[in-house]
Amino acid sequence: MSSIHTSARSDAPALRLAPLSQEPQTEQITDLSWRQADEDVFVATNRGEYAGFVSVEQNVHVVHDSHSRRIGSYPTLAAARQALVDATRPPSRRRERLRRRILERRR
């Protein structure tokens, strides 16, 4: 398994994510480092912990999370990487409150 850097530098600054709602939140930073494991496999880590991978199948980039669950297929490597960033982003407080209310109604 080689560790060839791709165009996304592993020493690049953290990607700062904008909050999804107008509600006050602490700033969230997702810091994914990418390594090319093979010609068609790119592996991501978040602060040293495995975060997922992107595999290239024909002309499609398939994203898997840290539990190897398929997230989706994307036409470009950049779009696939962004999908993994979005999947590793913690849910907003507003979305969590909504989820709890929905679950309480089902009881």
Classify 57 as helix, strand or coil: strand
pLDDT tens, position by position, 35-77: 999 999 999 998 888 999 999 998 899 999 999 899 999 999 9
Which pLDDT does position 29 carry in this prediction? 43
Mean pLDDT of 15-41: 61
Calpha distance 43→64 (Å, rounded) = 10
Q: Find the mean pLDDT for residues 17-37.
A: 57
The pLDDT of residue 30 is: 59
Which pLDDT score, from 0 to 100, does residue 107 have? 67
Rg (CA), the chain: 16
Range list of H helices, 1-107: 77-88, 93-106
pLDDT at 32: 86
Q: How far is CA 70 from CA 63, 67, 86, in A?
A: 6, 9, 14
